[in-house]
Amino acid sequence: MALSDLANEIIELDRLNMEAHFIASGETFDSARREAGLGSEIQEGAQFLQVRRSGELIAYLEYLPPQDGKFRIPSLQVHPTYRGTSILRPLLAQAAHRIGSWPDATLQTRVHSTNSKSIRLHSRLGFSHVASSDGRLVFTISVSALQAKLQTYSGLTQRSSGAHKPDDVNSNDPG
C-alpha cells in the first residue's frame, strides 16, 4: 500500500477517535495539521504497526525510532467497533518485539487529560505520569519494564478467545 493511502486511513481513524477529545480540550481536530505532522514523522522514520479486517485499517500503533534513548509513540488507535476485543494484544506484542533491541531505552506518550480510557490503559501497562502540558499528560516507561508487564499479561485469558494472533499485525516496512 502507498504511504499516502495509509496516511489517509490513519487520519480518518484518528478523526473518528480523537475529535471528541480535541473538542473537550477546547480545540478542533484539524486533518491538515495531522497530515503535516504525519508527513514529518514519516520523514523521521515513523513505523506503523497495523491490524486490518477485510482490508480495512481497524487498529494501528505508530512509533518513532529512538532518539537519545527515547521512543516516541505519537499514536495508538483502535476502531470503536473493535475496542475491548483484545485486538491490542498482538499490536503490543509486536511493538514489544520491535523495541526489544533497545532494552535501555524509554517510551514516551502524550494523552489528552480527558481521555480516561487511554489513561487507564497506561496505568494498567505500568506507565508513570511524569509531566503535564497543553492539556496533555506525559507518560513514560522503560522498554524492559513494559516488556516484563506484557510478558506476564500474555499468559492470561483473552476476551475474544484467541481470535487476534500476532500474524494479524503488519507494518509499513519488512523489519
* Residue 76 binds ligand COA (CB under 6 A): yes
Min CB(88)–ligand COA separation in Å: 3
Nearest to 51 by CA among 99, 13, 107, 19: 13
* Stretch 32-61 residues interacting with ligand COA (CB under 6 A): none
N-term to C-term CA, the chain: 16
**Closer of 125 and 174 to ligand COA (Cβ):** 125
Q: Is 83 left (phi over 0), alpha (psi -120 to 50) or beta?
A: beta
Contacts of residue 108, defined as CB under 8 A and 6 or more positions apart, other chains included, come to: 70, 71, 72, 73, 138, 139, 140
Q: Which stretch binds ligand COA (CB under 6 A): 42-50, 127-135, 153-161, 166-174?
A: 153-161
Q: Which residues bind ligand COA (CB under 6 A)?
A: 17, 76-78, 83-84, 86-89, 92, 109, 111, 115, 117-118, 121, 124-125, 149-150, 153, 158-159
